[in-house]
Amino acid sequence: MQLKIIDIPLALGDGEEKLKLAAADILGISEEAVLSLKIQRKSLDARRNRPPFFVYAVAVTLSDFIDIPNRGDRRISVEAEPSHPRDPQIKSGKTMNRSVVVGSGPAGLFAALVLARSGAPVLLVERGKAVPERVRDVQGFWEKGIFSPESHVHFGEGGAGTFSDGKLTSRVKNPLTAWVKKILVEMGAPGEILIDAKPHIGTDRLRKVVVQMRRELQNLGAEIRFNAKMTDLVVHQGKIAGMVINGREEIATERIILAIGQSADDSYRMLFERGVRLAPKPFAAGFRVEHPQALINEIQYGPWVGRPELPPAEYVLTARLPDLDRAVYTFCMCPGGQVIGCSADERGVITNGMSFSRRDGPFANSAVVANIRTEDFAGESPDPLCGLSFRRQWEEGAYALGGGNYFAPAQRLVDFLQGRPTEKIMQTSFLPGVVPAPLDRVLPGFAVEALKRGLTVFNEKMPGFITGEAVLIGVETRTSSPVRIVREKDGQSVSIRGLFPCGEGAGYAGGIVSSALDGIRAAQWAIMREE
């Protein structure tokens, strides 16, 4: 008999070997009657004014004829069969002509994987470089301010997630999420991501995972080309007939899975010129806030700070401001991480957060952003790309305020709230570097007002958040795409048949997991189109 038990608490210091006894107590049976136990989920409850503890969900195997006195306990449910990640429904693609996947972020990699496992011939093209060369270029940018237009945090193998915390949380409820995590573990991600409530991989391990996915695709027969930028589409009678690489090489194909990411502004413009329907989309913008990690630990864990069982503390904060019709929230919080420069264009400064797998750095950071509505930047404009120009305006402003060398403008949090200049910035993790500057000049006034109000609400929810030790670094504009590539219910562009836009750049996903899921869906649609 298989049963699932949720909400099993374990105190700090209790080993997981005590789970069997705890499960037996909930069931009302002896520990010996539990034949086996498998952890399905683990989370940390660190709400204030009580000791932190871990919470588990487990699957247990019992003998078939045992009596369970506490069968009515809400924490107990029948597990019809052992829980295994469900594989996607992959039909054979062996009769298909070659499909082209554009982009090697999560959407592109998982789309290519589904196609390759179906037996379909696949060409994956990526405008940036493979991980080893890409890492060298990014390090050169961080250390020397040398910007490479085609090889940076946004372009290259693995997409923008390669230089991130590698978070795998997602609000998307999809049974294939477990399969995505299983594949990542097969490629070298830690097994803990299968059970952690807030799983993450870390940039150091994610780089290795991405390289292993490339090798898996090649073993399945896929061709992968780097430094291969899509510069045009070939369209015949409203259908995809091919594409052009690097302005000179034409590749014939009837299917393109478009997983370009949200920073390929030139690709959006080309698509618009070719008649692909695009639409403006809301997004969010703000800053990165950085605190000492020790301070966040103290705020979140109180008298239990320093316990070795506790991970670096995290936070999630939101503030709804009805009178402004705005919301302010934290996004992509990176405990023990660093704030990174991730410029996507020359003469632009953009921030993001990144953590290594151990999350053992001295700083904690998070985006603090306000929602940007389409009417804030589109107005009466018929241009669906006006959101790109809007965010570019503020990125260029941050570049100028930072001194024109990719240093970021920064200001102490308390100075930003009080409207006074910061004379000297304390140590930060940001590379290439920061300069003191008034951050109310790097975003529109409505966003600045909302952020100031929201930060005050954050401090009410998390006392100590506003402190002289906190620094704001600007500007955070790449939370999601301001453009949607409009598609039909069958996943194809409403304008061109055979074009399957997906992932974050298409405006249908955000983050590693949801992008991977959308790439899987795009591949399934492409295979079904062949039938």
Rounded to whole angstroms, the Cα distance separating 422 from 439 reads 10
Backbone angles phi, psi at 329, to 5 degrees: -155, 160
What pLDDT shows up at residue 131?
Answer: 98
Task: Write down which residue in 430, 451, 476 finishes a domain.
Answer: 476
What pLDDT shows up at residue 329?
Answer: 99
Asked if residue 419 and residue 498 are part of one domain, the reply reads no
What pLDDT shows up at residue 173?
Answer: 85
Rounded to whole angstroms, the Cα distance separating 503 from 261 reads 7
Could you state, in chain order, the average pLDDT of each consecutive group of 10 residues for the chain (531 residues)? 95 96 97 96 94 97 90 87 66 79 99 96 98 98 96 98 95 91 98 97 98 98 99 98 98 98 98 97 98 98 97 98 97 97 97 98 99 90 93 98 97 98 92 96 97 98 98 97 98 98 97 98 90 52
Q: How do 326-334 and 363-372 pair as beta strands?
A: antiparallel
Asked if residue 452 and residue 505 are part of one domain, the reply reads no
DSSP bridge partners of 278: 485
What pLDDT shows up at residue 172?
Answer: 83
Asked if residue 35 and residue 125 are part of one domain, the reply reads no
What pLDDT shows up at residue 158?
Answer: 98
Looking at residue 221, which CATH number applies to its domain?
A: 3.50.50.60
Residue 170 counted as domain residue: yes
Contact 264, 344 (CB under 8 A): no
Residue 94 counted as domain residue: no
Asked if residue 372 and residue 294 are part of one domain, the reply reads yes
What pLDDT shows up at residue 282?
Answer: 97
Asked if residue 138 and residue 123 are part of one domain, the reply reads yes
Contact 238, 497 (CB under 8 A): yes
Asked if residue 410 and residue 337 are part of one domain, the reply reads yes
Looking at residue 20, which CATH number applies to its domain?
A: 3.30.70.2700
**Residue type for 509, please?**
A
Asked if residue 350 and residue 236 are part of one domain, the reply reads no
Domain count, the chain: 3
Residue 91 counted as domain residue: no
Asked if residue 154 and residue 58 are part of one domain, the reply reads no
CB neighbours of residue 77 within 10 Å: 11
**Residue type for 155, please?**
F
Asked if residue 344 and residue 362 are part of one domain, the reply reads yes
Residue 84 counted as domain residue: no
Q: Which residue carries 């306990």 as its tokens?
A: 73
Asked if residue 440 and residue 308 are part of one domain, the reply reads yes
Asked if residue 256 and residue 138 are part of one domain, the reply reads yes
Asked if residue 67 and residue 210 are part of one domain, the reply reads no
Residue 251 counted as domain residue: yes
What pLDDT shows up at residue 343?
Answer: 98
Contact 116, 122 (CB under 8 A): yes
DSSP bridge partners of 61: 2, 36
Look up the pTM and report it.
0.95
At a CB cut-off of 8 Å and minimum separation 6, what does 89 contact?
Answer: 524
Query: b or e along 407-416 (b: 16 or more beta carbons within 10 Å of the residue's beta carbon)?
Result: bbbbbbbbbb
Residue 248 counted as domain residue: yes
Domain that holds residue 48: 2-78
Residue 86 counted as domain residue: no
Rounded to whole angstroms, the Cα distance separating 435 from 349 reads 12
Residue 142: helix, strand or coil by DSSP? helix
Rounded to whole angstroms, the Cα distance separating 431 from 382 reads 38
Rounded to whole angstroms, the Cα distance separating 115 from 387 reads 33
CB neighbours of residue 144 within 10 Å: 12
